[in-house]
Amino acid sequence: MGRPAKYYFNKKFFDVISSDERAYWLGFIAADGCVTLRSLLVTLSARDKAHLARFKVALNATNPLRISVNSQGNEIASFGVHSTEFVANLAQYNIVPRKTYSFAMRNIPDDFVAAFIRGAFDGDGCIHSRISKAGARYWIVQISGTAKFMEQIAFHCSQNGIHRATLRTHSNSPASKVFHISRIDQICRFRDWIYKDASVFLDRKKTILDRAAIIPDRPCKYCGEPFTPRYRNKGAYCSRRCYMRVYYSAHPEKWQ
């Protein structure tokens, strides 16, 4: 008989994905978890230690959450569990060792795909929001991962009204792809979809995304037709054609 385990946690937590919470944490570790044949380790910046503590609570775990300093001198928070049974349960969702190069979403119930993608976004996604020199605010939402997984995310987004996302090659890993959205209306749809009825999320990312707002329609200065501008304080014309007509009216010599 082996010695009793030092720590306890719910090894059957991911047996069945039956809730928003379970789907979320599965997506989170699919993006940001390190899996071996017998263990799972999740490491985040120390500023997100409270979020990692939520995962510990979800697993009903007595395992400690550790704070340390990595080789770059940054403070990190880590939480790990050891169990071949637990890791075997993760494998049914394609969360396996070296998943960085092979992961694709598998066996996720349709009702919880948004929660899974929300977890992946919190684990390996980013938000860029800045104001240009001209005063226009730019928004970008990205998730990085394997080409197959990013294609799956793009497909599910397209099924939920997010049609203008693109897939780009990862600058640091040609084998990976980046799911990319830059239109504000599409970002708002993405946000509303993944956070609908959400029970768990990374607070700081949701706080930033909650600031995004669809810009109201305005009339084109040339034809008068209403259109949705891409930026709040830029865009007076509904199309390049309208803009060029105004430009050449003001500069007829350009026709020469």
Residue 1 banded pLDDT, cuts 50, 70, 90: very low
Domains (range + CATH), the chain: 20-209 (3.10.28.10), 218-255 (no CATH)
Supply the pLDDT for residue 76. Answer: 96
- Taking residues 156-170, what's their average pLDDT? 93
168 contacts: CB under 8 Å, gap ≥ 6:
177, 178, 180
Above 60 in pLDDT, residue 60?
A: yes
The DSSP line for 199-241 is S---HHHHHHHTT--PPPPEE-TTT--EE--SBTTB---SSHH
Supply the pLDDT for residue 200. Answer: 97
pLDDT > 90 in the chain, percent:
67
- Taking residues 172-199, what's their average pLDDT? 92
Above 90 in pLDDT, residue 227?
A: no
pLDDT in tens, 130-148: 877 666 678 899 999 999 9
Cα–Cα distance for residue pair 152/147, rounded to 1 Å: 9
Measured at the CA of 232, the angle between CA 229 and CA 237, to 5 degrees, comes to: 35
Above 90 in pLDDT, residue 202?
A: yes
The DSSP line for 126-158 is EEEEEE-TTS-EEEEEEEEEEHHHHHHHHHHHH
Q: What is the DSSP letter of 90?
A: H
Supply the pLDDT for residue 221. Answer: 87
User: What are the structure tokens assigned to 140, written together?
Assistant: 């970008």
- Taking residues 190-212, what's their average pLDDT? 95
Least confident stretch, 1-15, 19-33, 87-101, 171-185 = 1-15
Least confident stretch, 34-48, 137-151, 178-192, 218-232 = 218-232
Cα–Cα distance for residue pair 120/115, rounded to 1 Å: 9
Angle, in degrees to the nearest 10, between helices 113-124 and 147-158: 130
Above 70 in pLDDT, residue 243?
A: yes
- Taking residues 228-238, what's their average pLDDT? 74
Among 120, 90, 115, 110, smallest CA distance to 21 is for 115
Least confident stretch, 4-13, 132-141, 142-151, 190-199 = 132-141
Higher pLDDT among residues 13 and 211, named by residue? 13
Q: Is residue 82 within 8 Å of 70, Cβ to Cβ?
A: no
Cα–Cα distance for residue pair 119/33, rounded to 1 Å: 11
Cα–Cα distance for residue pair 38/42, rounded to 1 Å: 14
Q: Does the CA dihedral 61-54-41-84 come out positive or negative?
A: positive
How many residues are there in the chain? Answer: 256
Q: What is the CA radius of gyration of the chain?
A: 23
Cα–Cα distance for residue pair 245/228, rounded to 1 Å: 20
Q: What is the DSSP letter of 73?
A: S
Residue 239 banded pLDDT, cuts 50, 70, 90: confident
- What's this model's pTM, rounded to 2 decimal places? 0.84
- Taking residues 163-173, what's their average pLDDT? 88
Q: What is the mean pLDDT of the chain?
A: 90
- Taking residues 183-193, what's their average pLDDT? 93
Supply the pLDDT for residue 91. Answer: 95
Above 60 in pLDDT, residue 256?
A: no
pLDDT in tens, 209-221: 998 887 777 888 8
What residues form DSSP beta bridges with 42? 33, 79
